[in-house]
């Protein structure tokens, strides 16, 4: 289980790293090269090996005429991924753990594997800021029973609509697309033809929360 160090320091902070990285993404809707970001929610997953931190964070950018809520998938590592420079968001100094390499998690095989495990019911979502505490507001669903959540390969594509993960299952070689909603639309239902999804609560402007689709399987 991941241990969350809520009272330590992080330099630079996650939001500071994001402020530089986010405007360069094809799904970023803002006009400003300096987004004004606030953390508005999210959840975590555990790495079974205990080596990689996995976080699904929602942030809201208020730099434009209307606020926009983004989903960012972080993976945190104590050493760089070999050949992973393209996925690197930045490095930060953690007050307890030391230097951490922060990656766009859609390109981290550990995060992708645990995301698929969540979808098929083999991983338990965790509270974002509390150690060893399940988050029952996050649910995964898949229309079929799978023999194993293991993946053989993943191909990642970013475009203005979000991020697509083309995954191949290890047991039967089946290919599926996991679509990551980078711009979140709280309250909008999942596509009727979806094979699976991840949903969680996200805030509405009036302070209430609505079920929100974080990822879809097609």
Any domain includes 118: yes
| Residue 189 lies inside a defined structural domain of this protein | yes
In 3D, which of 165, 148, 23 has the Cα closest to residue 89? 23
| Number of domains comprising the chain | 1
Say if 3 falls within a structural domain: no
Give the SS3 label for residue 116.
helix
Which two structure tokens, joined as six digits, stand for 202? 């996200």
Going residue by residue through the chain, which has 218 residues, state the pLDDT in tens, using 9 for 90 and above.
566 556 677 899 999 999 999 999 999 999 888 999 999 999 999 999 999 999 999 999 999 999 999 999 999 999 999 999 999 999 999 877 779 999 999 999 999 999 999 999 999 999 998 878 999 999 999 998 888 899 999 999 999 999 999 999 999 999 999 999 999 999 988 888 899 999 999 998 888 999 999 999 99
Q: Confirm whether 146 is domain-assigned.
A: yes
Q: Is residue 15 in a domain?
A: yes
Is 52 inside any structural domain? yes
Q: Which range marks the domain in which residue 44 is found? A: 10-217
What global pTM score does this model have? 0.94
Query: Would you say residue 1 lies in a domain?
Result: no
> For residue 2, is it within any domain?
no
CA distance 111 to 121: 15
């Amino acid at each position: 289980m991941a241990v969350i160090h809520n009272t330590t320091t992080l330099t630079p902070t996650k939001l500071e790293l994001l402020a530089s990285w986010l405007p360069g993404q094809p799904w970023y809707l803002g006009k400003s090269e300096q987004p004004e970001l606030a953390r508005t929610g999210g959840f975590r997953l555990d790495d079974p090996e205990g080596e990689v931190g996995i976080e699904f964070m929602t942030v809201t950018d208020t730099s434009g005429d209307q606020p926009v809520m983004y989903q960012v998938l972080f993976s945190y590592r104590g050493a760089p991924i070999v050949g992973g420079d393209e996925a690197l968001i930045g490095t930060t100094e953690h007050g307890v753990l030391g230097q951490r390499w922060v990656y766009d998690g859609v390109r981290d095989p550990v995060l992708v594997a645990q995301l698929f495990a969540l979808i098929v019911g083999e991983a338990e979502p965790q509270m974002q800021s509390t150690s060893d505490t399940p988050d029952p507001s996050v649910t995964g669903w898949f229309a079929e029973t799978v023999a194993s959540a293991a993946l053989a390969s993943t191909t990642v594509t970013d475009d203005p609509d979000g991020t697509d993960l083309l995954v191949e299952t290890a047991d039967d070689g089946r290919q599926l697309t996991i679509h990551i909603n980078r711009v979140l639309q709280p309250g909008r239902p999942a596509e009727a033809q979806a094979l699976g999804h991840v949903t969680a609560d996200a805030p509405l402007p009036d302070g209430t929360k609505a079920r929100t689709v974080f990822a879809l399987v097609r």
